[in-house]
Structure 1
Amino acid sequence: MAKRERGIESMATTGEETQNQARMHQEFGNKSLLRSDALYQYILETSVYPREPEPMKELREITAKHPLNPMTTSADEVQFLNMLLKLINAKNTMEIGVYTGYSLLATALALPDDGKILAMDINRGYYELGLPVIQKAGVAHKIDFREGPALPVLDQLIQDGKHGTFDFIFVDADKDNYLNYHKRVIELVKLGGLIGYDNTLWSGSLVAPPDAQLKKHVRLFRDSILELNKALAADPRIEISMLPVSDGITLCRRIS
């Protein structure tokens, strides 16, 4: 416990960090569906950043300098996932879509020392940006990183009889494959285990009028998210809760 909590101390964002965040918000919009940037910043500065472990802060700042920074999971959502994993006593987890490993590091810090994370991403280069921080945090031994598409790995796990062996599975990858992921991970998560699908409110676009001016990537995957949400709502094997945290996360608890 002490090892995981090392480096957790009260810290405030610097003026430079605040300026960078303001620039990113102006260019991309913040990751939260809150329409008040000031209120979202209040959440970060009051609840998230003061409790953020030093390795998480370091990796967040490294990721903020990357041109694809909007792909990263938001700090408030990562804080939520870290607590959730502890509440369910997760030990064997999976992450589909890693990027620089910000949410992956939060998971690794939450798991016991003998916990394991199967992490998959098509780009190892992004993962290696965060790997030195993960190694310095002393949790790299918990991570089994696989470069390449996740679907063949999932199919192999099913073929190898790994049904019901994962406590928690987090999906934050190519949105047009979310339903394909669900067909497989529902078999791999244990009864009572959780699956988390990120971005299920998709920048609020799901209720936008037909003539709304949407960013290209938002319009491109909007139908995939709508299809996923409809399928999850109708799936009798799970209980669901769609939360307006960050860009929306849907938690699915497997019940059959």
Structure 2
Amino acid sequence: MSSKPLPLTPELHAYLVAHGSAPDEVVRELEEETRAVLPDRAVMQVAPEQAAFLTFLTRLLDVRQAVEVGTFTGLSSLAIARGLADGGRLTCFDISEEYTDIARRYWARAGVADRIELRIGPAAETLRALPRERYLDLAFIDADKVGYPVYWDELVPRMRPGGLVAVDNTLRAGRVLAPENADDRAVAAFNDQIMADVRVDVVMLPLADGVTLARVR
């Protein structure tokens, strides 16, 4: 058994997706529309195996109260909503009506629109309207990278003990090793910040562009 990282070739990635995370018709069409309508922004959409992971994780944690920061066209929120426990709710924060109008259509097609509340506005401000008690089971952060520390500081105090914060793009295509721009530098600093946060236990997964999971103590 080797500890050497396994290169994920396109062929191996296709095999991975086909075995346990293959998208259904709704997800495939959402992915296709996002690429067609927003070709320069489609990279912001979570990977299919990441969407499957979010559904699995939500079910595993028996999530009833979830928050997402950064919704884009709605694939990650659809995935989380599908995994919610009976009566569960997901509150989404985004700044774009254009992108989330696509999300709303696919939430309805997937039959999960009644589980999702969308709040439009800068998340640094709108998150403050959430209840102050520790009630959240799951939070997913996938928005502007410079804002990650702000969203972290708003969400961690609202997580129940044992709740999970998942943060996307924490590897920045490997550029955290040698940051090339402001977003890279912000994520590299954020990664160091949360590793030193005594309120959480942290693990980073090489899933898609890097997903960090933080269990709140």
Q: TM-score, normalised by structure 2?
A: 0.91
1:47 partner SS:
coil
Aligned to 1:220: 182
Aligned to 2:3: none
- Tell me if 1:89 matches 2:51: no
- Tell me if 1:163 matches 2:125: no
Q: How big is each residue's C-alpha offset from its partner over 1:133-162, in whole Å with a ceiling of 9 and x where there is no partner?
A: 2112221011110111111122222xxx43
Aligned to 1:237: 199
Aligned to 1:15: none
Aligned to 2:17: 44
Aligned to 1:60: 31
Letter in 2 for 1:148: G
1:75 corresponds, among 8, 33, 48, to 48
Letter in 1 for 2:43: P
Aligned to 1:144: 117
Letter in 1 for 2:42: N
Letter in 2 for 1:128: D
Distance 1:55 1:220 in 2: 35
Distance 1:93 1:43 in 2: 27
Aligned to 1:4: none
How far the C-alpha of 1:40 sits from its partner, in A, is: 1.7
- Tell me if 1:195 matches 2:195: no
How far the C-alpha of 1:114 sits from its partner, in A, is: 1.4
Q: Find the structure with the greater CA-based Rg.
A: 1
In structure 2, the CA distance between the partners of 1:34 and 1:181, relative to structure 1 (3 Å rule), is: farther
Q: How big is each residue's C-alpha offset from its partner over 1:94-137, in whole Å with a ceiling of 9 and x where there is no partner?
A: 00000000011111111134111110100021111132221122
Q: Sequence identity, in percent?
A: 33
CA contact (8 A) 1:93 1:169 kept: yes
Residue correspondence of structure 1 range 2-17 to structure 2 within 5 A:
none
Runs of 5+ unmatched residues, structure 1: 1-32
CA contact (8 A) 1:239 1:253 kept: yes
Q: Which runs of 4+ in 1 moved over 4 A?
A: none
Letter in 1 for 2:106: V
Distance 1:165 1:150 in 2: 18
Q: TM-score, normalised by structure 1?
A: 0.78
Runs of 5+ unmatched residues, structure 2: 1-5
How far the C-alpha of 1:55 sits from its partner, in A, is: 2.1
Q: Aligned Cα RMSD in Å?
A: 1.7
Distance 1:184 1:129 in 2: 27
1:179 corresponds, among 146, 149, 153, to 149
Aligned to 1:17: none
How far the C-alpha of 1:34 sits from its partner, in A, is: 4.8
